[in-house]
Amino acid sequence: MIMSHSAFPDGFEEMIVNKRYHELNAFELKQLSDEHISELEYDQIRNTLLSLGNLEEEMPEPSAGLRDKLLDAFDQKTERKPKVIMFRMWSIAATAAALLIAVLLIIKPYEKEMNKGISQINSSDKENSLVNKEPQAEFKSKNIPMPPEVEDAPKKEELTKEESGTAVMDRNEMGANDVDEKLTKTAAAPIEDVEPAKLSETSVGLYNAAPAITSGTISTTESVNENMVLSSNKSKYTSQSASMKNNIDLLSLTVMVY
């Protein structure tokens, strides 16, 4: 490649190429002195610039195979484009289907378990509600005679020192009938109906006779406990189902987003 001086159309290049040092005007000389350029250096720069203008250089030839290689690459790019799109569409559809199946497989067993648990809770709820509201219903349905009504326990003032003292000190001498009678009276009374003061009074008599408490009253207490356990189970199942619903919502959202 041989460069012509047309490469230096304006500015400092034009000045250097067209003028020798002694041909420069006052303004140009001032510019050179501002740059600390001596006459010798100016001549060196001028000669270099002129040499660059006469530069003779053979440009290297790229290797023969490179052109064909690049043209092949150009062709490949043209052909591949639709294939890539088709492949992407297929892969997206397949992934979405796989995800849906996976979600269904995960949900099914949980759903069954959840329904089972909920139905159990509902049935026990019904039973408990009967026990709580009407403790006598069980007895009525089974034709069991109801325990006798409990009279109000005598007030603290009504109990004589003698009576209470005899109950405590001579309990061994106490007749079995008396004990049974007192126990029946106390045990049959609903817990909530007995005032704390009365309970403390009667508890003395009950101390040794606890096993003799009738089953009817005990069953009421047990059912309360059972009810508490079931209600805790219910809340557990409810929270589980809520979390399951959240998970399902999240999964479906993820699938939709995908």
Partner 1 sequence: MSLQIPESDEQLMERIIRRDKPAFGILYDRYSRRLLSYFMRMLWNNRELSEDCLQDLFLKIAKQPELFDTTRLFKPWVYTVANNICKMEYRKAGRKGPSVSIDFVPELRATDPGITERIDKRAFTAKLKEVLTTINEPHRSTFVLRYFEELSLKEISVIHNCSEGTVKSRLFYTLRKIAGKLPQFQHI
Neighbours of 66 (CB within 10 A): 10
Q: Does 229 bind partner 1 (CB under 8 A)?
A: no
Give min distance, CB of 26 to partner 1, in A: 20
**Does residue 87 contact residue 38 with C-beta atoms inside 8 Å?**
no
Q: Does 13 bind partner 1 (CB under 8 A)?
A: yes
Query: Per-residue x/- marks for partner 1, 62-101, CB under 8 A?
Result: xx--xx-xxx-xxx-xx-----------------------
Give the residue from 96, 11, 91, 3 showing the smallest Cα distance to 50: 3
Query: Which span sits near partner 1 by CB under 8 A: 35-43, 145-153, 199-207, 244-252?
Result: 35-43
What is the rounded distance in angstroms from the CA atom of residue 195 to the CA atom of residue 182? 17
User: Please, which residue, 27 or 258, has the CB nearer to partner 1?
Assistant: 27
C-alpha count within 13 angstroms, C-beta hemisphere, residue 117:
18
What is the rounded distance in angstroms from the CA atom of residue 157 to the CA atom of residue 62? 123
Q: Which of 17, 24, 29, 49 binds partner 1 (CB under 8 A)?
A: 49
Query: Which span sits near partner 1 by CB under 8 A: 18-26, 58-66, 170-178, 242-250?
Result: 58-66
Give the residue from 135, 136, 147, 150 showing the smallest Cα distance to 186: 150
Residues near partner 1 (CB under 8 A) are 1, 3, 7, 11-13, 37, 41, 43-45, 47-52, 54-63, 66-67, 69-71, 73-75, 77-78
